[in-house]
Amino acid sequence: MITGEAFGRLFEAFERTAFRLETLAVYDVEEEREEFERFLSGGDMGPEWDDNPWVRSMTDLGKQVSRVHVLRSPLTDYLRYELAAYPGNITAGETIGIIDLAERPTPELPDHDFWLFDDRTVLRMHYTPEGRFIGAEPLPEGELAEYQGYRDRALTTAEPFATYWERHH
């Protein structure tokens, strides 16, 4: 399992593309707790919400960052928080799509999160039942084509975030 700083370095090391499939309704991220509480109370989210510096640190180097979030409406409080931050990620250059299982049939996708870097490295994400990150498991090269297929299927099936948000916000 890859965790901590070693996991963070993956986002500096990739050269061209990073894709993430997200599947959880709640992520328990220690670094987000204060911000999540501020969101729930209607507080000011600050300038980073308008243009995400973490995403920008990659896209300013010409790297492509994309994700598809598979979810089911109605949204949890956490998903409302996460999706409310997506416009700032998009401004910073990330491409985001949504697959709402309440509106579309379930595509043949895994029931777990993963990252695909540069079309050659797949990391399966592991979480506790409460959504706390345990670690990223590098998958064998033999599974690469399967996960590339998942990425392609997710991107083809997903609705652009702006379209989804306009209907649900």
Q: With a threshold of 0.75, does the pTM exceed it?
A: yes
Residue 122's nearest CA partner among 154, 151, 152 is 151
Residue 14 has pLDDT above 90, yes or no: yes
Domain containing 119 — which CATH number? 3.30.870.10
Q: Supply the pLDDT for residue 13.
A: 95
The token pair that represents 154 in the structure block: 């997710």
Residues 6 or more apart whose CB falls under 8 angstroms from that of 28 comprise: 128, 130, 131, 132
The residue among 55, 58, 47 whose CA lies nearest residue 15 is: 58
Q: What pLDDT, in 10s, does the model give residues 138-166?
A: 999 999 999 999 999 999 999 999 999 99
Full domain range(s) for residue 157: 4-168
Q: Residue with structure tokens 């609705």?
A: 159
Q: How many domains does the chain have?
A: 1
- What does the pLDDT look like over 50-75, one tens digit per residue? 999 999 999 999 999 999 999 999 99
pLDDT of residue 104: 83
Burial 117-152 (b: 16+ CB within 10 A, else e): beeebbbbbebeeeeebeebeebeeeeeeebeebbe
Q: Please say whether the beta carbons of 66 and 155 come within 8 A.
A: yes
Amino acid at 102: A
